[in-house]
Amino acid sequence: MTTQISIASTLFKEEYGHYPPITDNAKLHQLLDANDVDGENPRRIQFMSFNKKDNNSKGEICDPWKTPYLITYDDKGPLIISAGPDKKFGTKDDITNRDSR
């Protein structure tokens, strides 16, 4: 799902001229799924749809191990990180949208 979130964020940028603002993971979920209530997706375009199993009770987008993704942007674009099976960021099992796996 890291790649799909990255693509959806890039499509948002193509539509609005900037990446979705990241205040928190749950807000990104709202923006990409056209459920934004703050007007940051004024055309209410659905860039990505999510299943309930993709989210936690806070509305955050989670990896298969139920850990919320870490989402940021740098000069290469979106960087979406899963903590991987050990549920700890910064370890060798982390998965990103930039992995060639």
101 inside domain = no
pLDDT tens sequence across 19-71: 998 878 999 999 999 998 889 999 999 999 999 899 999 999 999 999 999 99
Distance CA 31, CA 29 (A): 6
Range of the domain at 80: 2-96
46 inside domain = yes
86 inside domain = yes
Q: pTM for the complete prediction?
A: 0.90
- Beta-carbon neighbour count of residue 1 at 10 Å? 17
Domain with 78 in it: what CATH number? 3.30.700
Burial of 10 (0-12, 13-18, 19+ CB in 10 A): middle
Number of domains in the chain: 1
Distance CA 67, CA 61 (A): 8
39 inside domain = yes
